[in-house]
Amino acid sequence: MQMIQQTLILIKPDAMVKKIAGNIISDLYNLDIKMIGLKLVNVQKELAEQHYSEHREKPFFGDLIKHITGELHNQENVIAIVYEGEDAIEKVRKLVGCTNPDEAEPYSLRGKYGKIHTKTNCHETVVHASDSKENAEKEIELWFEKDEIINNNF
Ligand code: CDP
Ligand code: MG
């Protein structure tokens, strides 16, 4: 059974320095899901640590925070987007590809645009995408105010 879902996409600083935000949004159009919220965020450490709190104990946590806050990529910002559509979470994760860019399918966003950061070994994964309904709800609430989401379904 198909379900209408909302999911959070973050276009990360590595994608911003590569100037591929447009390509990523263009690929997302092909999924036939609807953009219902979008903003540019200068990510502070506190938001970064909350967003990635599940990885707090991982060896790559420090570099992950430096990555998402732009410290590894010229202090770049993040574009945060909420999409809504049928099976949006799974559809987006499939387009995004697996976490290690070297192993991601060549046609996926990470296969096309991702790489392993040479100095830190940080996986430059180009985008973040929610991986479950529960995490999508938590993440959308963390990144967006209620009135920043456009709801045309009334
Ligand atoms: O992003 P995704 O949900 O696919 O992967 P994750 O396991 O939740 O990891 C979050 C992020 O941590 C990744 O997108 C990478 O940027 C980073 N990471 C890393 O730098 N090195 C790893 N070995 C694993 C993840
Ligand atoms: Mg994850």
Number of the ligand closest to the Cα of 64: 1
Ligand 1 contacts CB of residue 122 (under 6 A): yes
* Backbone phi and psi for residue 123, each to the nearest 5 degrees, phi listed first: -80, 110
Which of the listed residues 67, 102, 123 should we mutate to test ligand 1's pocket, taking the one with most ligand atoms within 8 A of CB?
Answer: 123
For residue 152, give the DSSP letter: -
> What tens digit of pLDDT does each residue of 92-147 get?
999 999 999 999 999 999 999 999 988 888 899 999 999 999 999 999 999 999 99
How far apart CA 113 and CA 21 sit, in angstroms, is: 11
Picking from 16, 23, 5, 19, the residue whose alpha carbon sits closest to that of residue 43 is 16
Q: Other CB atoms closer than 10 Å to residue 123's CB: what's the count? A: 22
| 150 phi-psi bin (left φ>0, alpha ψ -120 to 50, beta other) | beta
Q: How does pLDDT run across 6-54, given as a tens digit for each residue? A: 999 999 999 999 999 999 999 999 999 999 999 999 999 999 999 999 9
Q: For 21, what's the count of Cα atoms within 13 Å in the CB-facing half-sphere?
A: 18
72: its two tokens? 């590894």
Query: Residue 151's pLDDT is what?
Result: 81
pLDDT of residue 153: 59
Give the residue carrying structure tokens 């990144």.
143
Domains of the chain: 4-148 (3.30.70.141)
Report pLDDT digits (tens) over 47-88: 999 999 999 999 999 999 999 999 999 999 999 999 999 999
128 is catalytic: yes
User: Rounded to an integer, what is the distance from CA 54 to the centroid of its chain?
Assistant: 15
pLDDT above 60 (res 154): no
